[in-house]
Chain A
Amino acid sequence: MKGKLLPKSCFKLRSCRGNAIVLALAFSAFLLLFGYAAFQLANFFGASEEVRNSVDAGALNVASKSIFLKVPAIKPYDDCVDLVSQIGLTNINRVWGKALLINANVQSMEKESLSGATATKNASSAMAIAQEINDSLFRLLTGTSSLSSMFNQLGSLRHSKMLAGSSSVSATSNTSWPKAALLRGRSSNLTFDQTEIPPDAGVSIPQVSIGNEEFVPGYTPIAANKNFFSFVSFIPGDKPQLVSQSLFEVNRIDTNPIPNIINPIPNGFSATGSVTNTSSGLVATAFGLANPQKQYTLSIPHSYVSIKITNEQDWYVEGNLVAQGQYTLQPLIWHLAPYSNPNAFANVTLKNGAVIHCLARVGGEYAQPVTLWDVLKNGGGDLSSLWPPMVQRIKEIKPDFTANELIALLKSQRITHSSSQYLIYPKYSSGDATNPTITIGPVSSIETAPSFQPGVAGSGNGLWINPPDDDDKQAVLLSNPMASVVSPWIAPAYQPDGIEKLALTQADRKDNPNYDWPFYVSGAPEGTHYAILKSNVYWEPDSGFYQCLGQLRIAHRTNCYFAVIN
């Protein structure tokens, strides 16, 4: 075999050829692989962020929409409801506020020994019913189904484009999402004035000042009447927002409950979502803080203070009580008549043998025009002692109410013959009973003709000499127009749970404005005659459980004396 041998160097050269290409290809392959891995990693992080953003939006939706989970109201909290007569996160603090005021009232009444037999029971009922509403709402807010649907409502609108396919984020349903009581000690959505709490109740509400307003603190148990009351924190001006996991975790109601509070209503919601239709299994959790952005005042919205006038008349002959009765709010002449015949005069025989008929003109203190203020003022005495307890109670309806406003109301209210009871009550222009205007009006209930009780001597009965005219009768027969026209919620026929105490004794008024005279049928006149109008004012505090927060009773008693021998 002939051949030309190539030099060794050429062999070396041939073997070196393509080395750079191989290296470059290998490096390129590495770069491509590295690039692909980096791309996948970037894609994964991007998808992860998409899921986190979606879960954030879902959690925010849960926190924002949680205010729409509501439960029906139970009496007496039907005045704390929204326009659809329900209780939710927005107005649950109103319920607890009313319960707190009722219990503070009862605690005050007990300290003053003015607590009636049913007061303690009413306070307990107020607490129990508020707790029942609270528990219903708590179950609704801590259940997963409603919150999941809120989460999915938004999750379905968002897609994770960076994962395979177009995957939506949906709520995980295998575990219950934790809840939290966030912003403990910060403000609730309930403003208040310390003066609306009965001063002797000993109920201390810490104030959270924001601007010119004082707020009841959130998630801070407040003791009243041996019960504890807690309010949900909602900072005014804030909106529903996301919160950090660390803040949420330390305020979870299952691991860090509110002391002395059963089932505290949460304001913090967590939500866990995952991406469906992918094997990546991306899961994220977010935490939202609810805020209804609506404030109320600590109050008992449907309540009133009552002013009642009672008029009694005693008939004395020769120092003996012979008859008792009541008279109406207009000047009328009365006389004694036998039971058997109301149209006849009852004869009263004196010790000297004389026979007299007893007559009296009473109700002169209500001669028109006269207002409630006049009735009080004409009796004399220091009226200023009457205002503080009344004003305090009206502040439970409208915290900025003043004594001057009360006096103005009393001056504006004319006495009507047909009504012996007047209510100071709120009028609301909004359906959710907020921003009240305090007003006053008569309760025109059916008033029958006065019936006299048999006197000690058992000798007579009362009778109209000049009976009311037809118009008056008609007015008397109107049944409680306030209850059906002015404010449908008012129930003037309440069950008092307080005991009245004497608040003011006014000066006696002799023969003016009421007076009497005898008509001698036979025999010689004996002694003198005169009439004395005595006036006492009583104050009865009530709890507000049955709407009535208290009653001022102006008690007039006219004693008619005949044949008085000194």
Chain B
Amino acid sequence: MQACSSRRKGSSIVETLASLMLIIAIAVAALDLIMLISASQINEHLAENAARAASSQICELDSRAAAATSLMSYHPSSNISNVEMIDFKYDPGAETVRVVTSMAIELPVPIVKTKFVNLRADAVQPIVGIPAPF
């Protein structure tokens, strides 16, 4: 009777631990996923805003500076270690400006030894800063 009771207790603990591990694993994965989705959206926003800022300038130099300033106005959180503009193309012929940003994310819980993830976002905007030609 006693042996049966202790077996029962042990089994419950094992089951609970196994269940907890499963739930924790799912929760951790969900946490990482939420972090990734959230960071991805922030990155898209940053790229879009940088492209818009760049598009309202009159020359490439000002345009690039405006994009950089726009990016610098974002203050990364503890999980976002770095945001940078990895590509910039000012095309007066097509009258478009393209900004590509990269965001380094530190996952809350590393997955398979992957602690950092790089997200990339690009945005294209029409150049609106150039006055009409004669």
A28 touches B128 (CB 8 A): no
Residues in B neighbouring A153, C-beta threshold 8 A: 94
> Assuming the A-B contacts A31-B30, A293-B131, A431-B134, are A60 and B126 also in contact, with contact meaning beta carbons closer than 8 angstroms in the complex?
yes
Q: Which residue of A lies closest to B16 (CB)?
A: A20
A65 touches B95 (CB 8 A): yes
A31 touches B15 (CB 8 A): no
A292 touches B4 (CB 8 A): no
Closest CB in chain B relative to A165 CB, distance in Å: 17
* Segment 268-313 of A: residues with Cβ below 8 Å from B: 292-294
Closest CB in chain A relative to B121 CB, distance in Å: 9
B134 touches A430 (CB 8 A): yes
Q: State the CA gap A20–B19 with chains docked (Å).
A: 7
Q: Which residue of B lies closest to A291 (CB)?
A: B128
User: A60's contact among B40, B125, B134, by CB below 8 Å, is which?
Assistant: B125
A65 touches B126 (CB 8 A): yes
B19 touches A21 (CB 8 A): yes
A42 touches B131 (CB 8 A): no
User: B128's contact among A17, A31, A64, A157, by CB below 8 Å, is which?
Assistant: A64
> Assuming the A-B contacts A60-B128, A61-B126, A239-B129, are A432 and B134 also in contact, with contact meaning beta carbons closer than 8 angstroms in the complex?
yes
> Assuming the A-B contacts A13-B4, A27-B23, are A46 and B37 also in contact, with contact meaning beta carbons closer than 8 angstroms in the complex?
yes
User: B22's contact among A16, A24, A35, A88, by CB below 8 Å, is which?
Assistant: A24
* Segment 55-69 of A: residues with Cβ below 8 Å from B: 57, 60-61, 63-65, 67
Closest CB in chain A relative to B1 CB, distance in Å: 7
Q: Interface extent on A, as a size class?
A: 35 or more
Stretch at the interface among B6-14, B75-83, B101-109: B6-14
Q: Which residue of A lies closest to B51 (CB)?
A: A57
User: A21's contact among B15, B27, B132, by CB below 8 Å, is which?
Assistant: B15
Q: Which residue of A lies closest to B13 (CB)?
A: A20
Q: State the CA gap A37–B24 with chains docked (Å).
A: 19
Residues in A neighbouring B23, C-beta threshold 8 A: 24, 27-28, 31
Q: State the CA gap A498–B5 with chains docked (Å).
A: 120
> Assuming the A-B contacts A20-B19, A60-B125, are A13 and B8 also in contact, with contact meaning beta carbons closer than 8 angstroms in the complex?
yes
Q: State the CA gap A67–B130 with chains docked (Å).
A: 12
Q: State the CA gap A157–B48 with chains docked (Å).
A: 14
Closest CB in chain B relative to A32 CB, distance in Å: 7
Closest CB in chain B relative to A439 CB, distance in Å: 22
**A53 interfacial by beta-carbon distance below 8 Å:** yes
**B96 interfacial by beta-carbon distance below 8 Å:** yes
Closest CB in chain B relative to A310 CB, distance in Å: 41
Closest CB in chain A relative to B66 CB, distance in Å: 12
Residues in A neighbouring B123, C-beta threshold 8 A: 53, 57, 158
B126 touches A57 (CB 8 A): yes
**A50 interfacial by beta-carbon distance below 8 Å:** yes
Closest CB in chain B relative to A269 CB, distance in Å: 13
B133 touches A82 (CB 8 A): yes
A28 touches B133 (CB 8 A): no
Closest CB in chain A relative to B131 CB, distance in Å: 4
A158 touches B124 (CB 8 A): yes
Q: State the CA gap A294–B132 with chains docked (Å).
A: 6
B44 touches A35 (CB 8 A): no
Closest CB in chain B relative to A34 CB, distance in Å: 9
B26 touches A32 (CB 8 A): yes
**A240 interfacial by beta-carbon distance below 8 Å:** yes
Residues in B neighbouring A24, C-beta threshold 8 A: 15, 18-20, 22-23
**A19 interfacial by beta-carbon distance below 8 Å:** yes
Residue interface mask A1-40, B partner, CB < 8 A = 1: 0000001011001001111110111011001100100010
User: B132's contact among A18, A27, A57, A292, by CB below 8 Å, is which?
Assistant: A292
**A207 interfacial by beta-carbon distance below 8 Å:** no
**B56 interfacial by beta-carbon distance below 8 Å:** yes
Q: State the CA gap A303–B130 with chains docked (Å).
A: 31
Q: Which residue of A lies closest to B57 (CB)?
A: A239
Q: State the CA gap A486–B40 with chains docked (Å).
A: 64
Residues in A neighbouring B7, C-beta threshold 8 A: 13
User: B124's contact among A157, A241, A431, by CB below 8 Å, is which?
Assistant: A157
Q: Which residue of B lies closest to A150 (CB)?
A: B126
Residues in A neighbouring B128, C-beta threshold 8 A: 60, 63-64, 239-241
Q: State the CA gap A384–B38 with chains docked (Å).
A: 77
B12 touches A20 (CB 8 A): yes
Closest CB in chain B relative to A446 CB, distance in Å: 37
**B41 interfacial by beta-carbon distance below 8 Å:** yes
**A170 interfacial by beta-carbon distance below 8 Å:** no
**B33 interfacial by beta-carbon distance below 8 Å:** yes
Residues in A neighbouring B95, C-beta threshold 8 A: 64-65
Residues in B neighbouring A10, C-beta threshold 8 A: 4
> Assuming the A-B contacts A20-B15, A57-B124, are A7 and B26 also in contact, with contact meaning beta carbons closer than 8 angstroms in the complex?
no
**A83 interfacial by beta-carbon distance below 8 Å:** yes
Q: State the CA gap A495–B124 with chains docked (Å).
A: 55
**B50 interfacial by beta-carbon distance below 8 Å:** no
Q: State the CA gap A449–B48 with chains docked (Å).
A: 77
What are some 27 contacts across the A-B interface (CB < 8 A)?
A7-B1, A9-B4, A13-B5, A13-B8, A16-B8, A17-B15, A20-B12, A24-B20, A24-B23, A31-B26, A35-B30, A53-B123, A57-B125, A57-B126, A60-B125, A64-B127, A65-B95, A83-B133, A158-B123, A158-B124, A240-B126, A240-B128, A241-B128, A293-B132, A294-B131, A430-B134, A432-B134
The 10 A-B residue pairs whose C-beta atoms are closest, nearest first, are: A24-B19, A20-B15, A292-B132, A293-B131, A61-B126, A240-B128, A90-B132, A157-B124, A83-B134, A13-B8
What residues make up the interface of A, taking CB atoms closer than 8 Å to B?
7, 9-10, 13, 16-21, 23-25, 27-28, 31-32, 35, 39, 42-43, 46, 49-50, 53, 57, 60-61, 63-65, 67, 82-83, 88, 90, 153-154, 157-158, 239-241, 292-294, 430-432
Given contacts A46-B40, A239-B128, 4 further A-B contacts (CB under 8 A): A17-B15, A43-B37, A60-B126, A430-B134
